[in-house]
Amino acid sequence: MHRSTSFLPVTLFCFLISSSFIPLARTDAVAEQTVRINGSGTGLEMMKPLIEAYVKSHPGVKFEMEKPLGSSGAIKAVIAGVLDIAVTSKPLTKEEEARGAVISIFGRTPLAIVAGRNVPENNVSTADLENMYSGVTRRWTNGENIRVVLRPQTDIDTVILSGLSPGMAKAIVRARSQQGMFMAVTDPESNEAVLKIGGSIGASGLTGIMAGKLPLRILSLNGVMPATEALADGRYPLSKDLNFVTRGRLTQAAADFLDFTYSKKGRAIVGKVGVLVTAGRKAYK
């Protein structure tokens, strides 16, 4: 009788202990099937059609992709272990590399000159842009005021535009010194500002416009429209990198998704939304 009464509590105890691990195991399994991605706004727009296609054949995989942190913010989150993958438009710093961040080259998209739908022009020259940003030219041909949408000084879009010409670099510096200029921190903020502010002009990654189906007016630059073909043959001068940053060994779900992104099907998907894939070696593990 003594053995019988002592056996029952032990059995119940063991059952409760083993049962308590079941939810934890399921949580770990779910976590293993969740891919956490962030980065530049343009980069995240590129990821949307890739994710949409991937989940059709991998319904058990979940994706977490919040509002864009920007390239620098997402890289910090990868280093901290909060993200699996950062989509970046900037190179890694030596400090980021020292902390274990690894970049895998993927592709480029044209940095398009964009304007609101009411803007009458379809083309701008380098000289036109220099005059608009510096304030020499203040009105469009229909008489509407030109409103330049700027990005932060260290933002990659600012760096790319400044590299168009020495005159453009000076014009951006002058624009930043003027009062009342509109400053957009992220790609989505910039696109929204160009859409809403009358007579506005700015710059945006082509894939963000195409994947997001944004009704922006895309202007040709010196007579050349921003397109992957024009980027590939060198006719279009402005491009924005779209690469991946990881740290350490990826979860199987994250590695499999990146493999899909680099595959023939993945390349075809991003090619349809304005990305020129230039990838060679994949650096992630």
Q: 141-190: per-residue pLDDT in tens?
A: 999 999 999 999 999 999 999 999 999 999 999 999 988 899 999 999 99
Intrachain domains 12-108+241-277 and 109-239 with the same fold: yes
* For the chain, percent of residues with pLDDT exceeding 70: 87
Fold held by 109-239 = D-Maltodextrin-Binding Protein; domain 2 (3.40.190)
Other CB atoms within 10 A of residue 277 CB: 17
* Per-residue pLDDT band at 198 (split at 50, 70, 90): very high
Residue of higher predicted confidence among 200 and 12: 200
- Model confidence pLDDT, tens digit, residues 130-149: 999 999 999 999 999 999 99
* Identity at 88, one-letter amino acid code: T
The SS3 call for residue 240 is: strand
pLDDT of 22 strictly over 60 = no
With both helix axes pointing from N to C terminus, report the angle between 41-57 and 264-271 in degrees, rounded to the nearest 10. 130
The CATH number given to 12-108+241-277 is 3.40.190.10
- Asked whether the predicted pLDDT for residue 21 surpasses 80, the reply is no
- 221-234 exposure pattern, b = at least 16 Cβ within 10 A, e = fewer: beeebbbbebbeee
pLDDT at 8 over 80: no
| Ramachandran category for residue 276: left, alpha or beta (phi over 0 → left; psi -120 to 50 → alpha) | beta
3-state SS assignment for residue 112: strand
The pLDDT, as a whole number, for residue 142 is: 94
Question: How many Cβ atoms from other residues are within 10 Å of residue 79's Cβ?
Answer: 18
Would you say residue 3 has pLDDT above 80?
Answer: no
- How many residues can be counted in the chain? 285
| Residue range 217-226, pLDDT digits in tens | 999 999 999 9
Domain locations along the chain? 12-108+241-277, 109-239
Check pLDDT > 50 for residue 268.
yes
Say if residue 44's pLDDT is above 70. Answer: yes
- What is the spatial distance between Cα 170 and Cα 172, in angstroms, rounded to a whole number? 6
Q: Which residues contact 99 (CB under 8 A, 6 or more apart)?
A: 79, 247
CA R_g for the chain: 24
Alpha helix (H) ranges present in 87-183? Answer: 94-98, 126-134, 156-162, 166-177
Note the pLDDT of residue 281: 59
Q: Which residues pair with 115 in a beta bridge?
A: 201, 217
Report the C-alpha gap between 4 and 12 in whole angstroms.
Answer: 13
pTM of the model: 0.85
Nearest-angstrom CA–CA distance, 94 and 202: 31
First-residue to last-residue Cα distance in the chain: 60
Could you give the percent of the chain with pLDDT greater than 90? 84
